[in-house]
Amino acid sequence: MALLRVDFYSRYLERNVVLTAVIPVDKMDGNKLAKHRQGPYRTVYLLHGLFGQDNDWIDKTHVVQTAEARDVVLIMPSGEDGLYLNKPEINEWHGKFISEELVEVTRRLFPLSRKREDTALAGISIGAYTALINGLLRPERFGSIIMLSGAFMRDRILDAVESHSPRKRKYYERFFGDLDTVLGSEKDYVALVERFRENPDLPKPRFYGACGKSDNLCASNREVMNLLDDAGFDVTYWEPGIGGHEWPFWNAWIDCALDWYAPGEMRPSSAGGDYTALTSLRPPQQ
């Protein structure tokens, strides 16, 4: 994999942004370069979690090696607190940056496939929430959505709206803007799923999700996956008996997710302990 650090000006964010891209142009076969690769490549836009940055995936997982085995390009933007949503009330367009500008710029820079079935959006924790929202907003662009340990915050927003605690409201408004405008908006995944019920001709992304049963977000992950399944989406979801809200879990399960997206060679997890067993799992037959 060739690893590149990219810095470019975003018209939506009105500032320079950075991302890390890994491209399988120099894949090795033993001590020799493998067959010449020039694309177009399948692509995964990979989002980190809260307080993270783009190189978290490189530092804390072996996703690069797993993607290389499948000739998949990884595009990893560095987010602001891991949450990319549009906030039109304050003229912030982080969602459009992810779902429009980032895809357009990287397709101009690199030989990426423009087919929706070759374009995936993936994330962990709050990055999974971001992937869900932006994937549902641009289903003609993203054919696959991967969500690991998703921080699906709708119920917490409802609780904050009904709370008399200014501190609680202020905390969530940091990410979502005016909480009174969230429900029924483009930040509300329940409302977005309802659009697909009302418009059955919309293309439907397929979904892959996993959340450990010991993660306190497990119940909300199950609810979201059931919501998508009930609306007719193609859903594959795992709830392993082990695994918390932590990088060892995501290190193992990003392998399984990439194997679902682009079947190929599996690598044993480098997390150690019981997590190595997770990569032996395969999605159930649909």
The SS3 assignment for 171 reads helix
Site of tokens 């399948």:
42
**What does R_g of the chain's alpha carbons equal in angstroms?**
18
Per-residue pLDDT tens over the stretch 68-126: 888 999 999 987 665 788 887 778 888 899 999 999 999 999 999 999 999 999 999 99
The SS3 assignment for 207 reads strand
3-class secondary structure per residue, 18-75? EEEEEEHHHCEECCEECCCCCCCEEEEEEECCCCCCCCHHHHHCCHHHHHHCCCEEEE
Rounded mean pLDDT of the chain? 85
Rounded distance between C-alpha atoms, residue 255 and residue 94, angstroms: 28
Q: Give residue 55's pLDDT.
A: 85
286 within a domain of the structure (yes/no): no
Strands (E), the chain: 2-10, 15-23, 28-29, 32-33, 42-47, 72-77, 86-87, 92-93, 119-124, 144-148, 206-210, 235-238
Return the number of other C-beta atoms located less than 10 Å from residue 97's C-beta. 22
Q: What is the DSSP letter of 283?
A: P
Domain of residue 144, residue span: 2-280
Q: Is the pLDDT of residue 271 over 80?
A: no
Q: Give residue 114's pLDDT.
A: 96
| Sign of the alpha-carbon torsion through 87, 93, 94, 100 | positive
Per-residue pLDDT tens over the stretch 59-74: 888 899 889 888 999 9
285 within a domain of the structure (yes/no): no
Amino acid at 152: F
Per-residue pLDDT tens over the stretch 232-263: 999 999 998 888 899 989 998 998 899 899 98
* Domain at 53, CATH number: 3.40.50.1820
Q: pTM for the complete prediction?
A: 0.88
Q: Is the pLDDT of residue 273 over 60?
A: no
46 within a domain of the structure (yes/no): yes
**What DSSP string runs through 215-233?**
STTHHHHHHHHHHHHHTT-
241 within a domain of the structure (yes/no): yes
**Number of folded domains that form the chain:** 1
